[in-house]
């Protein structure tokens, strides 16, 4: 019997579709930009008969503790904005095999030639990192937020330290919502093993938002909305920074003391 989504899984698909619309409306999801994975292992009851050969696809490998886990994943080349009207074309529910060599597509993946996102390796390594952090964080969201990317092009904000002080200085909520700041990963080729490795190295330090230099952002959260909010807060700070620059001035920014006071008064 083919796998069917239960009510909870349907809600998760709707949540991903809603966030896809937000990302599109924000202008952070041109063409197929961005991708997402959501750990739904606790919600997917899979029968052995549903793990037959035709649904199996090979994969170069993933951390062994992920074997048997289930993820909703966007497809490579699919558009965030299309998920709402074509969820089964744009998303798939996959279950990683016990042997660490591939996965079964249980649901979705109906677009001809469908393959999960080209960033699947990064997603799976990040999902492993989240599992090790206790498993409450279930989603990895990748998007292309304009102003945050722009700041990684400017010499004055192209270091993690300078970038975080600049962002925190623009509005108290930047420090409130993202107290650890963003982790900055130097430019690496899209979809590469080097990018996956560098990303997980940063995430393992406890960051919830990672910026890929001159490419985009990743955020983790309990659900897609939570991950979206973190990028939104930091991109608002980046926008304010650039608005001041457009006005021909350097932003005054909150002082270090004011930012530290926020951190002390409202610890995470
Ligand atoms: P995919 O379409 O393969 O998910 O790639 C989009 C992207 O943003 C790559 O970084
Ligand atoms: Zn990207």
Q: What angle do CA 186, 168, 232 make, to 5 degrees?
A: 75
Average pLDDT, the chain: 96
Nearest CA to 8 among 69, 93, 81?
A: 93
Percent of the chain with pLDDT over 90: 92
182-185, strands of its sheet edge to edge:
56-58, 102-108, 91-96, 70-74, 35-39, 139-143, 216-221, 209-212, 182-185
| pLDDT given at position 2 | 86
Cβ within 8 Å of residue 144, ≥6 positions away: 28, 29, 30, 33, 34, 215, 216, 217
Instruction: Report CA(82)–ligand 1 centroid distance (Å).
Output: 14
pLDDT at 227: 98
Q: Which residues, at least 6 apart from 133, have a Cβ–Cβ distance to it below 8 Å?
A: 206
- Residues 207-228: pLDDT tens digits? 999 999 999 999 999 999 999 9
For residue 142, the ligand 1 atom closest to its alpha carbon is 8
Task: State residue 170's pLDDT score.
Answer: 98
Which range among 51-60, 96-105, 257-266 has the greatest average pLDDT? 257-266
For ligand 1, the distance from its centroid to the CA atom of residue 130, given in whole angstroms, is: 21
pTM over 0.85: yes
Tell me, using a 6 A CB cutoff, whether residue 192 lines ligand 1. Answer: no
Q: What percent of the chain has pLDDT over 70?
A: 100
Q: Which of 144, 139, 118 is nearest to 39 (CA)?
A: 139
- Residue whose token pair is 């999902």: 127
Nearest to 144 by CA among 190, 200, 110, 179: 190
Q: Examine the pLDDT at 236 and tell me if it is beyond 90.
A: yes
CA of 30 to the centre of ligand 2 (A): 10
Q: Is 77 in the pocket of ligand 1 (CB under 6 A)?
A: yes
List alpha helices for the chain, DSSP H.
Answer: 7-26, 87-90, 120-132, 146-151, 160-168, 172-177, 193-203, 224-246, 256-265
Residue with tokens 């420090």: 175
What pLDDT was estimated at residue 94? 97
The pLDDT score that the predictor gives to residue 99 is 86
Across-strand partners of 96?
103
- Integer Cα distance of 84 and 63 in angstroms: 31
Q: Note the pLDDT of residue 70.
A: 98
Q: Which residues are catalytic?
A: 119
Q: CB atoms < 10 A from the CB of 44, how many?
A: 23
Give CB contacts under 8 A, 24+ apart, made by 97-101: 97/51, 97/56, 97/67, 97/68, 98/67, 98/68, 99/67, 100/61, 100/62, 100/64, 100/66, 100/67, 101/58, 101/59, 101/61
pLDDT in tens, 108-161: 999 999 999 999 988 999 999 999 999 999 999 999 999 999 999 999 999 999
Position 35 scores a pLDDT of: 98
List pLDDT tens digits, range 166-193: 999 999 999 999 999 999 999 999 999 9
pLDDT of residue 84: 98
Residues 71-104: pLDDT tens digits? 999 999 999 999 999 999 999 999 999 888 999 9
């Amino acid at each position: 019997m083919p796998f069917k989504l239960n009510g909870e899984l349907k809600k998760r698909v709707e949540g991903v579709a809603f966030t896809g619309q937000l990302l599109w409306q924000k202008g952070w999801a041109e063409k197929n930009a961005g991708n997402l994975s959501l750990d739904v292992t606790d919600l997917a009851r899979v029968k052995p008969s549903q793990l037959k050969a035709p649904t199996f696809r090979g994969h170069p490998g993933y951390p062994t503790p992920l074997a048997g886990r289930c993820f909703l994943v966007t497809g490579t080349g699919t558009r965030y904005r299309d998920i709402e009207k074509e969820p089964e074309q744009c998303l798939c529910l996959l279950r990683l095999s016990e042997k660490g060599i591939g996965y079964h597509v249980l649901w979705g993946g109906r677009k001809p030639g469908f393959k999960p996102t080209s960033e699947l390796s990064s997603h799976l390594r990040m999902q492993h990192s989240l599992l090790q952090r206790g498993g409450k964080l279930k989603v990895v969201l990748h998007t292309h937020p304009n102003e945050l990317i722009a700041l990684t092009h400017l010499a004055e904000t192209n270091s993690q330290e300078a970038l975080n002080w600049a962002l925190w200085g623009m509005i108290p909520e930047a420090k409130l919502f993202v107290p650890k700041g963003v982790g900055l990963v130097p430019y690496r080729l899209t979809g590469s093993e080097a990018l996956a490795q560098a990303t997980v190295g940063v995430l393992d330090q406890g960051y919830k938002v990672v910026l890929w230099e001159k490419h985009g952002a990743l955020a983790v959260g309990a659900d897609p909305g939570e991950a979206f909010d973190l990028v939104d807060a930091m991109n608002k700070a980046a926008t304010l920074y650039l608005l001041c620059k457009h006005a021909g001035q350097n932003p005054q920014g909150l002082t270090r003391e004011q930012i530290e006071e926020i951190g002390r008064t409202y610890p995470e």
